[in-house]
Amino acid sequence: MTSKRLLGIFAVLIVIWLIVPTLVIIPMSFNEAPSFNFPPKGFSTRWYENFFTDPNWMKSLFASLQVAVLTMIVATTVGVLASLGLSKVKFRGKGLMEGYFLLPLIVPGIVLAVGLYSLFLRLDLLGTLPGFVLAHTIVSMPLVITNVMASLQGLDPRLEQASASLGGGRVRTFFSITLPLIAPGVTAGALFAFVTSFDEVILSLFIQSPSLQTLPVKIFNSVTQTNDPTVAAVAVITMFTSVIVMLVAQFATRKRKRPVA
Amino acid sequence: MAIDSVTEGDVSTRAIALGADPGAKKRGPKNWRPLLLLIPAFVIVSLFFLAPLADVFVRSVTDPQPGLQNYQWLFSTPGNLNVVMRTFGTAILVTFVCLLLAYPYAYLMTIVSDRTRNMMQLFIMMPLWTSILVRTLAWMVLLQDTGPINSILAAWFDIGPIPLIRTTFGVALGMSQVLLPFMVLPLYSSMAKIDKRLLPAASNLGANPVTAFFTVYLPLSKPGIFSGGVTVFILGLGFYIIPALLGSSKEIMISAMIQQQISVFLMWGQGTALGIFLLACTILILVVVSRFNKSGSLFPGVDR
């Protein structure tokens, strides 16, 4: 019993260490003084005002949202197609093909970033919207595929067969039977893709240009080059954006685990 | 048709499942058409993942002129070896810290009620929802010389500002916090499979708790230690953001050095050679470990 209690105390300390340090950024964002000193002095919303009135910050927020939404659409569409393909056929090298799609998860980000930088230099894609979307798709699609594959595994193949035997065409079967059944996995995958793109830093740092910088790039540049406390406000905003999106994703997958009556 | 008789491996019924026309069924069991669905993903991954990596490799052996001089430079410059040692050292340190912290946590998850376990899992997942950049920013605030930790140290223990930021300690602290979930999750999934009656059985046979743990429990949790350890280690090797913001510019790691060679010194050949070296280390570790650990997946749910 006492050892369990000891473990409990240890676990609480771990949770505090995991979660509490990040929260200091919230009071910092309401600091009245133009510094990063903690505890903050006074209360002011000036950094939020700064963020929402500065055209440069607004431009990168808009760029981030644009890239993340487009990445979500591309990665989800292509990822769902690939997952369906992988689940429908058995062929030699299928495992290899699956591994090939997941490979971007294990390659060090900096190596891929350098490669994309070099490639985009030649293709004139640096700092362009398609460049950002393609780069983010590479690291988002594996998450879509793993989520959708997991849903497809729980799918009863007889349902699709029933649809087919009742005369449902391939496309109709997909949209009226398969897609609704794997929707939780697709939703979760899409939201993961959005957040991955919205938070992506390393690739974005290399493929940025003065004309197109996503929010994390702007935050990174601001932290390393200036001492503008506006980043605290921006950090809080991006933090809440990702947390809310991930909570929704969590909710979507929760539903999936409930047995289908 | 008799739906009940359909089996998983029956390819011709799978063709029906896809809604293929009956004619396709007659063409035989080799239904390749779903393979077409793989094409878009294959093209994107090939063009924007494989091609860039190939580009990195080609640059490393051709820039500024064809040959292996970049790799010669990499292995013969003492400063480089320091960077490599520092990177590996930090990754090993972080892996051990994560293992020490994650093991008791994951174990506790196996002996609590379902509700508590779900909560504990949620607490482990939650940090993953916040970007590394935001968390690093928070550590920058906490660890700076005028930050709260140093203020408390000064006020309570009367010790002057201890350098926390721009040190290996700061980097290891930030990296461990980010990587801990990748250790807890595989550990828990391997511990959940261990039969709970084994430990009481061992003590019935006269083993004290410590012996029972080391001879029974620890070996059974090895798959989790392996896959968690490998994930944390290889992710740790490639970290860029945290060392860049919490580390010192004098004690850089491989990732930062790659960036520096290419963006600052415009030495493409040397930078890409370092990149290929880092990639080769990652692949080598994965291959070696998957040999030893057949059950472990090569792709534990990794999120960079």
Q: What is the ipTM of this complex?
A: 0.89
* Residue partners of A117: CB distance under 8 A and separation at least 6: A126, A206, A207, B262
Say which of A77, A102, A114 has its CB closest to residue B56.
A114
From chain A, pick out residues whose CB is under 8 angstroms from the CB of B137: 25, 219, 223, 231-232, 235
Average pLDDT over residues A97-116: 93
B139 pLDDT exceeds 60? yes
Give the span between the Cα atoms of B269 and B267, in whole angstroms.
Answer: 6
Question: What is the DSSP secondary-structure string of B228-268?
Answer: HHHHHHHHHHT--HHHHHHS-TTS--HHHHHHIIIIIS--H
**pLDDT (tens digit per residue) in A16-33:** 999 999 998 998 889 887
The one-letter amino acid at B73: W
Q: Which comes out higher in pLDDT, residue A182 or B146?
A: A182
Average pLDDT over residues A203-231: 91
ω into B64 cis (within 30 of 0):
yes
Give the span between the Cα atoms of A177 and A158, in whole angstroms.
Answer: 11
Structure confidence at residue B34 (pLDDT): 81
Collapsed DSSP state (helix, strand, coil) of residue A212: strand
Q: Nearest-CA distance from A202 to chain B in Å?
A: 7
* Residue partners of B139: CB distance under 8 A and separation at least 6: A21, B165, B170, B173, B174, B177, B246
Q: Nearest-CA distance from B78 to chain A in Å?
A: 22
Say which of A21, A90, A114 has its CB closest to residue B142.
A21
- Calculate the average pLDDT of chain B: 84
**pLDDT (tens digit per residue) in A184-215:** 899 999 999 999 999 999 999 999 998 899 99
Q: Most confidently modeled of A141-145, A228-232, A257-261?
A: A141-145
Structure confidence at residue A94 (pLDDT): 81
- The residues with which A209 forms a beta bridge, in sequence order, are A212
Structure confidence at residue B52 (pLDDT): 96
The phi and psi torsions of B85 (rounded to 5 degrees) equal -60, -40
Q: Which of A17, A18, A178 to mutate to test the interface with B (most CBs of B within 10 A)?
A: A18
Structure confidence at residue A261 (pLDDT): 38
Q: Which comes out higher in pLDDT, residue B155 or A144?
A: A144
Give the span between the Cα atoms of A255 and A233, in whole angstroms.
Answer: 34
Q: Which of A26, A106, A31 is nearest to B290 (CA)?
A: A106
Give the span between the Cα atoms of B262 and A113, in whole angstroms.
Answer: 11
Q: Which domains does chain B have, with CATH numbers?
A: 88-250 (1.10.3720.10)
Residue of A nearest to B178 (CA): A18
Collapsed DSSP state (helix, strand, coil) of residue A209: strand
Confidence of residue B30 (pLDDT cuts 50, 70, 90): low
Q: Which domains does chain A have, with CATH numbers?
A: 1-43 (no CATH), 55-255 (1.10.3720.10)
pTM: 0.86
Reading phi first (left if > 0) and then psi (alpha if -120 to 50, else beta), residue B63 is in beta
Q: Which of B188, B242, B300, B101 is nearest to A15 (CA)?
A: B101
Across the interface, do B45 and A195 touch by the CB < 8 Å criterion? no
Q: Which of B194, B177, B170, B175 is nearest to B124 (CA)?
A: B177
The answer to whether B247 touches B259, Cβ cutoff 8 Å, is: no
Q: Nearest-CA distance from A154 to chain B in Å?
A: 13
From chain B, pick out residues whose CB is under 8 angstroms from the CB of A21: 135, 138-139, 142, 177
Confidence of residue A1 (pLDDT cuts 50, 70, 90): low
